Amino acid sequence: MRNADLIQIANTFGDPVYVYDSEKIISQFHRLTNAFSGVRKLQLNYAAKALSNIAILKLMNSLGSGLDTVSIQEVQLGLLAGFSPESIIFTPNGVSLEEIEEAAQLGVRINIDNLSILEQFGTKHPDIPVCVRINPHVMAGGNSKISVGHIDSKFGISIHQIPHLLRIVELTKMNVNGIHMHTGSDILDIDVFLYASEILFETAQNFKDLDFIDFGSGFKVPYKEGDIETNVEELGKKLSDHFNAFCETYGKELTLAFEPGKFLVSEAGQFLARVNVVKQTTSTVFASIDTGFNHLIRPMLYGATHQINNISNPEGRERYYSIVGYICETDTFASNKRINEISEGDILCFNNAGAYCFTMASNYNSRFRPPEVLWHEGKAILIRERETFDDLIKHQVDVKDLFVSKTASKKEKAAVK
């Protein structure tokens, strides 16, 4: 998308606004499938939690993707978007047995990540196939906030608990048809990921009726110019060779599965916000914009870096600015960052705003969540309306007869009595 297109979108739909480029999503999907063309059976299950707008889910479905879900609501969204139940895998964490049973009743595939629920589910439903999520105790990349394969992680069944897991399977006679791991986001060291995969292959040998092995995802994308990223082509070649060799040893052609989210949609997203005020202090120049961590929390929550460009003045001389929001908290998006000269009313563009951005938005400070726009075949299509005050109070219950204002007149108080 050109800057002129983005400015037109902001002027048409208002700001702040999220914009997603369908062409980029499609190219990322094909890049990943091509990287693993060396395996006979490949299944990509898009991680709905990254960006769950129904229009995006329908796009993924049209590409032949499956769907990775972590809540019963995401399962329902997937079904509404047209995914078949068997193309959806339910991989929750810390949910109740009842929620897993509800998902199973909808016909989706089940992935269980703790021994307690595994035993309960296997005892009640031994005929329903399940996948088991293993924690390999390997950190394949990223900081501790986005790595989930380490020994202190709440996710998965520890590899040291495999004997207990096998005893549950034996006693309940349940059907384990898949093995899964997810080491976390921002994989940088391919050899470390391959080491974790060997642990998964070793674990898989304990189960004789597998249909698939799911390696999670976490492929790193570049967040700024010159940033490093996961070399998915190299990973695809090496892991495919390992996987094919395992299938020969296992004696069965299995499906290699991934659950990419960030890799598919992060770079496709742009977040546009307008500058409310430029404020000079004794030491800093602040550019305060019409948004905050209520709309984009990743920089504050994870320390994530999003490239910020002034698309209203792309040729202006660079100056140092701290980009801050309008929330009554410390919501700093960037500190002392070189950006083309900013004036009040300019539109700033945050790159890599497709994954875990809108989906983590809130109504903090009673602010409305922004609209979402899909840029598809050269056209801007509204796929979510901006919230209104009616949306904000829609589910609040009016208790006007419960309290009487201290400033009410005696006549009003008497009327209430």
The string of DSSP codes covering 2-15 is -HHHHHHHHHHH-S
Which run of H or of E encompasses 348? strand 347-350
∠ CA 191-196-197 to the nearest 5 degrees? Answer: 95
Report d(CA 178, CA 254) in Å as an integer.
Answer: 9
Q: Which long-range contacts (CB under 8 A, 24 or more apart) does 106-112 make?
A: 106/75, 106/76, 106/79, 108/69, 108/75, 108/78, 109/178, 111/178, 111/180, 111/214
The string of DSSP codes covering 140-208 is -BS-TTTB--STT-SSSEEGGGHHHHHHHHHHHT--EEEEE---BS-B--HHHHHHHHHHHHHHHTT-S
Tell me, yes or no, if 131 is annotated catalytic.
no
Any known ligand binding at 369?
A: no
Any known ligand binding at 298?
A: yes
Any known ligand binding at 302?
A: yes
**319 and 235 Cβ atoms separated by less than 8 Å:** no
Active-site choice (131, 247, 328, 357) = 328
Any known ligand binding at 267?
A: no
Report d(CA 132, CA 212) in Å as an integer.
Answer: 11
Q: Show binding-site residues for pyridoxal 5'-phosphate.
A: 218, 356
Binding-site residues: 218, 298, 302, 329, 356
Catalytic residue set: 328
Binding site residue list for substrate: 298, 302, 329, 356
